[in-house]
Amino acid sequence: MLRISEFSRLTRIPAKTLRYYDDIGLFCPAQVDKFTGYRYYSVNQLARLNRILALKELGLSLEQVKDMLDNNLTPEQIRGMLMLKQAELQQQIQQEQMRLLYVENKLKQIEEEGLMSDYEVVIKSVAPVHAATIRATTPDMAHIGQTLDRAFDTLMTYIGEHGKQSDKPEECGITLYLDPEMPDKDILLEAALGIEGDMKATGDINVYTLPAIEMAASVVHHGPFNTLDKAYHALFKWIEANDYEVCGPNREINLAYERGGDQNKYVTELQFPVKKKL
């Protein structure tokens, strides 16, 4: 019989850990002195301990290891647990590789642009928006302001007469860009305002639910619209560098906007639906 420190030295498992395994009933000493509480281990216990260590190495929790060893599971159950673990590990590896790419790109960015950039891109999901919308075109970005003002005016008037506007800040001014950019072509866009309850559509006005976006690359721009291109640029660069690709029409969300108000107080979120390449 070996004392805990001897068994610890033999197995290279810290004594504290052996005590812990005893506490949770995973691996108990062959014998415990009734009076002193001293734990005594036998070399025959190495079989079980090695089984535990091997299963732990697979990434299973101690709870799962205990399950596998004590509740003699069917081969099917064991296969099931291992296959689940396999899938988990594959996912984790993917995630870590993504993180690694993030870190590498952040390092590059710091070298190129110095310290932290003004635009931090995050991946988020976007909820569906029940909205009234209207489509419009504009020949170039220089006139987009007027086009949108007119579109939103029409929408507001219509909603005021036929229903109720949503008061959620993220639904109070959404612009969708429907076409991928085409030089020498009009830009097709859709203005949308969230509404509460149902409402009928008429003529130019559509009423439907903008779909949720599972994965949107999002960036927030503070300040006037005429510097929005910087935000777009940062976003494109990030998407490219981190192996995403755009997979749907992008949106602009007016989070703080007042027509004629102080443009420095504007807050606009850009959302691009994306998916991982490959």
Partner DNA sequence: TTGCTCCTCACGTCACGTGAGGTGGC
Closest CA to 163 of 129, 203, 128, 207: 207
3 contributes a contact to DNA by CB under 7 A: yes
Query: What 3-state class would DSSP assign to 146?
Result: helix
Please identify, using beta-carbon distances, which residue of 49 and 132 lies nearer to DNA: 49
36 contributes a contact to DNA by CB under 7 A: yes
88 contributes a contact to DNA by CB under 7 A: no
Question: Do residues 174 and 131 make contact, with C-beta atoms less than 8 angstroms apart?
Answer: yes
Q: Nearest approach, Cβ of 23 to a copy of itself (angstroms)?
A: 22
Please identify, using beta-carbon distances, which residue of 22 and 170 lies nearer to a copy of itself: 170
128 contributes a contact to a copy of itself by CB under 8 A: no
Q: Nearest approach, Cβ of 196 to DNA (angstroms)?
A: 14
Question: Which residue in 30, 53, 172, 188 binds a copy of itself (CB under 8 A)?
Answer: 53
Scanning 143-151, 156-164, 202-210, 216-224 for contacts with a copy of itself by CB under 8 A, the matching segment is 216-224
Neighbours of 9 (CB within 10 A): 12
Decide which of DNA, a copy of itself, none touches 9; Cβ closer than 5 to 8 Å per partner kind.
Answer: a copy of itself
Decide which of DNA, a copy of itself, none touches 128; Cβ closer than 5 to 8 Å per partner kind.
Answer: none
Please identify, using beta-carbon distances, which residue of 133 and 271 lies nearer to a copy of itself: 271
Are β-strands 244-246 and 267-276 bridged in parallel, bridged antiparallel, or unpaired? antiparallel
Q: Which residue ranges make up the site for DNA (CB under 7 A)?
A: 3-6, 14-17, 19-21, 33, 35-39, 56, 61-63
